[in-house]
Amino acid sequence: MKPLTRPARLAPGARVAVVAPSGPVPEERLSAGLDILRGWDLDPVVAPHVLDRHPELPYLAGTDADRAADFQHAWCDPSVAAVLCARGGYGAQRMADLLDWEALAAAGPKVFLGFSDITALHEAFATRMGLVTLHGPGVTGVDFLKNARTQEHLRASLFRPESVTTIASAGTTLVPGRARGVTLGGCLSLLAAELGTPHARPATRGGLLMIEDVGEAPYRLDRILTQLLRAGRLDGVAGIALGSWKDCGPYDRLRALFTDRLGGLGVPVAEEFGFGHRDGALTVPFGVRAELDADAGMLTLDEPALL
């Protein structure tokens, strides 16, 4: 697996677009998130349909066509240096195939940020555009609005990426060893849901898989991992870094599950790397070459995620 194209870091005064590819956005939280971005000397612009709600499917932020049009316009606007997702939820898969990926690629590389349901778009950006993306908080996320650690790590990732090239684990080693590869991953259930779609990777050969999830019972995580294993999605994976598993059950049960399902791969596996659905979540890049030292609980990027 080869490293992907790195977009340019942000500079003071950069124009950033806020879009809602998935779930509906609370207006008061959007306003608070925009204030934070302006405090970073960014110039945020809100896509026209961000505050929409689908008339019949209220779990979607407007219609698929409108969400796709917002995304397309934001990415193809030459004045926009970054596209930031307002939140996750559900719906990115519904609009991904409505995007003109050739036009997106022609618009050139720029920063893309989101997590959770946005995993579907991280996969698409990797397979269709070969672009490094940032797995990090949504602009309206409670953690982004309230947690200083989350804010500062994202800010450093955007403006000073050379300062965040190491991520330390707060947990233990499940399978010892060191591995090198290209980072990829996201929300585990979304990776499974992408199987068989045009944007799914056929395998993770040569990759450092970074996974997390929220609200999935242990037996469901077992089923998801088993599906990925049976489908060959984990064939050739170089190493695995586990993030957060909020509301997924007692962690001792999860640790036993991960050891059972992932231990047989014969690659380093380490836990609690601080990204995902958790307080103080960190921003991690997908598409950069790195080293995972499971014994030391350390992920080290070969180079900053942004130029």
Q: What is the pLDDT of residues 106-153, one digit of tens each?
A: 998 999 999 999 999 999 999 999 999 999 999 999 999 999 999 999
> Which residues lie below 8 Å from residue 29, measured CB to CB, with a gap of 6+?
140, 142, 145
Residue with tokens 């797995």: 135
pLDDT tens sequence across 175-210 = 999 999 999 999 999 999 999 998 988 778 899 999
Intervals of CATH 3.50.30.60 along the chain: 166-301
Q: Is the pLDDT confidence value at 265 over 80?
A: yes
- When pLDDT is cut at 50, 70 and 90, the band that residue 22 belongs to is very high
| pLDDT per residue as tens digits for the range 277-288 | 999 999 999 999
pLDDT at position 208, please?
Answer: 98
Instruction: Specify the pLDDT at position 2.
Output: 86
CB 50 within 8 A of CB 86: yes
Give percent of the chain above pLDDT 90. 95
Q: Which CATH architecture has domain 166-301?
A: 3-Layer(bba) Sandwich (3.50)
For the segment 222-249, what is each residue's pLDDT rounded down to a tens digit?
999 999 999 999 999 999 999 999 999 9
Q: What is the pLDDT of residue 190?
A: 97
14: Cα separation from own chain's centroid:
22
- Pinpoint the residues of the chain covered by CATH 3.40.50.10740: 15-163
pTM for the model stands at 0.97
Asked if residue 117 lies in contact with residue 91, where contact means CB atoms within 8 angstroms, the answer is yes
Provide the edge-to-edge strand list for the sheet that holds 178-187.
166-168, 298-301, 289-293, 178-187, 207-214, 239-246, 269-270, 173-175
- The domain 15-163 having CATH identifier 3.40.50.10740: the answer here is yes
Confidence of residue 19 (pLDDT cuts 50, 70, 90): very high
* Distance in angstroms (rounded) separating the CA atoms of residues 98 and 21: 11
For residue 1, the model assigns a pLDDT of 81
* Cβ neighbours of residue 35 closer than 8 Å, sequence gap 6 or more: none
The catalytic residues are 116, 212, 277
